[in-house]
Structure 1
């Protein structure tokens, strides 16, 4: 089952108790904590140890940064930053969700630093290196993803995180509801278009006795507004209008738009018998991301032409899209 991976970034010796409490809280939430002292970051021999910490941020979903009074180990990248500073900067550069916590004593003295940063020789009691305050300056200067929460105790910090993550989940649910609303409106628009076309057909041919012409025109209207097109647009993330009249045209579109390759049979993706009643394609939905796309053969007649269908007769099981996971792939989560 997919779990959010949460990277905990801070200096170690002065904040090791806080890191331990955060680890327990993250596990209690059902998420996966990532802490370097727990062996959760795989190290190799090809690069410096800190590089593996930065690389691991590529594989997490959230980073929690705790800033205390110690500067910590200086990064090899720059003498301006510690390793934990670079971890935070890396997460922000990658657009990860970050939460920044600063000990209240450090935060209070920071404002003294702001007023006296040009004074030479000044000593600060809450930090061991003025570079801690210089880095907080940089955080405040960022345009986004830089909200700072001063804290006095770990229960206060954990309560804040619990409320924030509840808010993220609420936003995700609201987004899902919005997607369903847009989908419903698109379906209503499709039904309206079909009805308008049928009404126009009835009006223009009401005096004609040629039923074959009426049926042919009705089929054309139904094909133009076929529910397969809107279903494929949604499933394959297509932003433009989709239209074809037969299986060959669909093959061509899949080949050019989604690098689609028709397969003789479907790979074993389910614990069920082979789906011989489906046409199967291997399609690409992005870099190194491949899917199996299946289309029911019942949508086409014996000449491989698309059969007319009313929107109300559509069944979502007529097409499907399943991701082909490769070894080492990370599970995706909604936030």
Structure 2
């Protein structure tokens, strides 16, 4: 496996914080992330691409949007102003705060850590938030700017989790636990997805089996009572194909056409698609879906659900395509089930 492929496999983790006061935290976090065989993204590490003639912080926001995860560290410094979101009528927005907003807008998972001493002072700010003059007169020991508390409050209002820390060890311990839980949830999701797919496959096969038995029982009964021996195979084909279509495809109704026209366009599109499908060996599920989709779109129809079990019926479609009576009989059966198909 070459280095380029290995790099693509690694989660990109953006470290966001003010720089000089939290430089040692950033360095330790970078080593911690590398030890997990992940890729840390830090502007001082040289892995953020900068564009000439643009403010440097803009490249950081773009790098954040291209990351897989963000670690936000809030200490006692608010940081330098963003070049994109500040004017004389707005609250002072720092680069770090803008990085956080970029991550949140891009739905990137964010792990936020707040210096415990700063968080204690935030709680004091929160208790006095309605007393603006009192807040402005308080001299905080661990926060250089009241906007730090507004930043923390913004995160809290969004309902995002925050963790307090005293040392880098606290951060690493929490990340170890959080990432282990994330992996467990992912593995559980994979297992449940596999189970759901297996159950769906079983149900589809069972439905088709029961449908086939019902068809044969109905036709055998008709044969015994009305004596139409020669029509048995044809009626079985009509019932089987119409039931397979009903069980495996749903379409969006085109209101520009009548029900009869919608059904005819659907059936013609399927026949046209299966004339190609029957000639392809080992067709993939995506190729099957694309052929059906393109054929339906040609008739101004779009499917909203398609079960790939339908792909096993190419012979039936081809048989009906060359027999006018069977073709018309299947159309009639599909019309009886119009409300199920749309």
Change (3 A) 1:71 1:141: same
Q: Residue 331 of structure 1 corresponds to which residue in structure 2?
A: none
Change (3 A) 1:305 1:52: farther
User: Would the aligned equivalents of 1:247 and 1:304 in 2 still touch at CA under 8 Å?
Assistant: no
The answer to whether residue 269 in structure 2 is matched with residue 250 in structure 1 is no
Change (3 A) 1:251 1:161: farther
Change (3 A) 1:299 1:24: farther
Q: Residue 36 of structure 1 corresponds to which residue in structure 2?
A: 43
Q: What TM-score, normalized to structure 2?
A: 0.66
User: Would the aligned equivalents of 2:77 and 2:145 in 1 still touch at CA under 8 Å?
Assistant: yes
Q: Residue 152 of structure 2 corresponds to which residue in structure 1?
A: 136
Q: Residue 199 of structure 1 corresponds to which residue in structure 2?
A: 213
The answer to whether residue 99 in structure 2 is matched with residue 99 in structure 1 is no
Q: Residue 23 of structure 2 corresponds to which residue in structure 1?
A: 16
The answer to whether residue 196 in structure 2 is matched with residue 182 in structure 1 is yes
> How much does 1:248 deviate?
5.3
Q: Helix, strand or coil: the match of 1:196?
A: helix
Q: Distance in 2 between matches of 1:196 and 1:212?
A: 24
Q: Distance in 2 between matches of 1:198 and 1:283?
A: 28
Change (3 A) 1:282 1:198: closer
> How much does 1:124 deviate?
0.6
Q: Distance in 2 between matches of 1:189 and 1:46?
A: 60
Change (3 A) 1:201 1:301: closer
> How much does 1:91 deviate?
0.8
> How much does 1:205 deviate?
2.7
Change (3 A) 1:196 1:299: closer
> How much does 1:185 deviate?
2.7
**2:12 aligns with one of 2, 5, 28:** 5
User: Would the aligned equivalents of 1:244 and 1:250 in 2 still touch at CA under 8 Å?
Assistant: no
> How much does 1:32 deviate?
1.2
Tell me which protein shows more helix as a share of its residues. 2
> How much does 1:55 deviate?
1.0
Q: Distance in 2 between matches of 1:191 and 1:281?
A: 19
Q: Helix, strand or coil: the match of 1:128?
A: coil
Q: Helix, strand or coil: the match of 1:96?
A: coil
**1:80 aligns with one of 89, 92, 105:** 92
Unaligned runs of at least 5 residues, structure 2: 253-265, 294-310, 321-342
Q: Helix, strand or coil: the match of 1:206?
A: helix
Change (3 A) 1:72 1:303: closer
Tell me which protein shows more strand as a share of its residues. 1
User: Would the aligned equivalents of 2:216 and 2:236 in 1 still touch at CA under 8 Å?
Assistant: no
Change (3 A) 1:224 1:23: farther
Q: Helix, strand or coil: the match of 2:203?
A: helix
Unaligned runs of at least 5 residues, structure 1: 253-261, 263-274, 286-296, 307-335
> How much does 1:114 deviate?
2.2
> How much does 1:277 deviate?
6.6
Aligned residues: 270
Q: Residue 47 of structure 1 corresponds to which residue in structure 2?
A: 54
User: Would the aligned equivalents of 1:102 and 1:151 in 2 still touch at CA under 8 Å?
Assistant: yes
Please give the root-mean-square deviation of Cα atoms over the aligned residues, in Å.
4.0
> Which entry has the higher C-alpha Rg, 1 or 2?
2
Q: Distance in 2 between matches of 1:215 and 1:106?
A: 81
Change (3 A) 1:171 1:55: same
> How much does 1:192 deviate?
2.6
